[in-house]
Structure 1
């Protein structure tokens, strides 16, 4: 009986080994095919895959003026526009001062309301105004783009900070990538351009600080393509450059959305 059991176990073990052999062979064959395919794609110039960014947008230099960008950016993809930007290392930011971009939240577009309230009015829902004021936003709801949550805004010493106005291209980053060479009027326009401003979650904005795309991206992934396209559009409109790591991060993000369009300055019709 023991001899029969031993024979049975030996036969079962042989069947198991025989069953695993084809599986191992199939896996090895698949790996070989994959390696050959990747090698052929690479040698033929088809790997890594590169998205078709389309033609570069038309760039038109504008005469210097307050409340205008330096460049009008025509329609096109953000990826194509990115290729028009100069790439080089960041300059020193040791001499950066917020005052170099003018007084915070001026009425840059001369509509009678300061820029902060312009952005709140644009980005909030269910907006209510302070009594006897056509400009001062008292409360509203924000479909917050960076976190994907809903944030309530209520004007007040202890509550206003829940919603902050973010410079999509942080002013500290702008200073280190070309804005230091702009005129005071051009920097003022950059700081107040609606293209470069978004109402966002206060803590997320503080976490971002003056980071670029290589050091900070919105936690909500669905906004990242638009966010990066907006940064590229701002940099093109004000002739700023991108650092190598910054550009690499932008390319990675836009690789998932190669047809993401660039945006015009908020000053332009």
Structure 2
């Protein structure tokens, strides 16, 4: 399992009691609290906040490049999903499930997972079977295409679709919430749990900044409105290689 995923579990335990934009019981958020939201780990890449500097959600939104959405030519198959990058028999989906488990599942041959427990932070629902979870691209593939990925080559789209180099790009959530969200942006959909919304806004903006994706006017306005209620939310990110 990638080292940052193991580290993120430890960080989650440490920050679980911090105050977020809408307080929730300690340890109830499977992801770090909004005050620790980031889309990357390690030292900053060019264009990212340097020297450990943090951005407020409003400041991060202001850094999003402007753009207009264009879905012409989009096909989901343009993004190669769930690769086994480190050849350990666990593909991207299973790596996320292993990293985010509240109670670790048993790992069998070919990374078959049984048992375990997870907390879907979008809706604060506890889940006791991996088959009940989807791995959500915080910024959906179609939205990424609209916002700049249509100009990428196949290798970069594959890296985006399987981004284990950032803690915030992929998240295990209930199938119900993932399918309710579909490919909608924050102007059209936010997590049903109010305690998740500041974290989600930071995840969205950090992921877009990480991959240099644009935001249109409607999306930017929705994010700015969200940021008004998320004054303590911090965004960190690293530009993807």
> Quick check: 1:96 aligned with 2:69?
no
Q: CA deviation at 1:139?
A: 2.5
Query: Do 1:165 and 1:198's aligned partners in 2 also have CA atoms closer than 8 Å?
Result: yes
- SS of the equivalent of 2:179 reads helix
> Quick check: 1:168 aligned with 2:138?
yes
Aligned to 2:178: 205
Q: Provide the C-alpha distance between the structure 2 equivalents of 1:115 and 1:266, rounded to a whole number of angstroms.
A: 20
Aligned to 2:25: none
The Cα offsets for residues 208-265 of structure 1, whole Å up to 9 and x where unpaired, read as: 0000000000000111111111111111111100111111111111211223111335
Aligned residues: 193
TM-score, normalised to structure 2, is 0.72
Q: Provide the C-alpha distance between the structure 2 equivalents of 1:193 and 1:210, rounded to a whole number of angstroms.
A: 18
Q: CA deviation at 1:267?
A: 8.0
Task: Report the aligned-residue RMSD.
Answer: 2.4
Structure 1 residues 125 and 250, CA gap change in structure 2 (3 angstroms): same
The Cα offsets for residues 130-181 of structure 1, whole Å up to 9 and x where unpaired, read as: 4345x33223211111111212215xxxxx1x21100000000000011111
The match for 1:246 among 194, 214, 219 is 219
Pair member with larger Rg = 1
- SS of the equivalent of 1:143 reads strand
Q: Provide the C-alpha distance between the structure 2 equivalents of 1:190 and 1:131, rounded to a whole number of angstroms.
A: 28
Q: Which runs of 5+ in 1 are unaligned?
A: 1-57, 62-70, 155-159
Structure 1 residues 197 and 130, CA gap change in structure 2 (3 angstroms): same
| Structure with greater contact order relative to length (CA < 8 Å, sep ≥ 6) | 2
Aligned to 1:114: 91
Aligned to 1:131: 108
Q: Provide the C-alpha distance between the structure 1 equivalents of 2:100 and 2:65, rounded to a whole number of angstroms.
A: 32
Aligned to 2:64: 85
Aligned to 1:146: 122
Q: Provide the C-alpha distance between the structure 2 equivalents of 1:128 and 1:80, rounded to a whole number of angstroms.
A: 39
TM-score, normalised to structure 1, is 0.65
Q: Which runs of 5+ in 2 are unaligned?
A: 1-42
Q: Provide the C-alpha distance between the structure 1 equivalents of 2:94 and 2:88, rounded to a whole number of angstroms.
A: 11
Q: CA deviation at 1:114?
A: 0.8
Aligned to 1:6: none
Q: Provide the C-alpha distance between the structure 2 equivalents of 1:249 and 1:211, rounded to a whole number of angstroms.
A: 12
Q: Provide the C-alpha distance between the structure 2 equivalents of 1:205 and 1:146, rounded to a whole number of angstroms.
A: 9
- Larger helix proportion, structure 1 or 2? 1
Aligned to 1:255: 228
Aligned to 1:179: 149
Query: Do 2:149 and 2:157's aligned partners in 1 also have CA atoms closer than 8 Å?
Result: yes
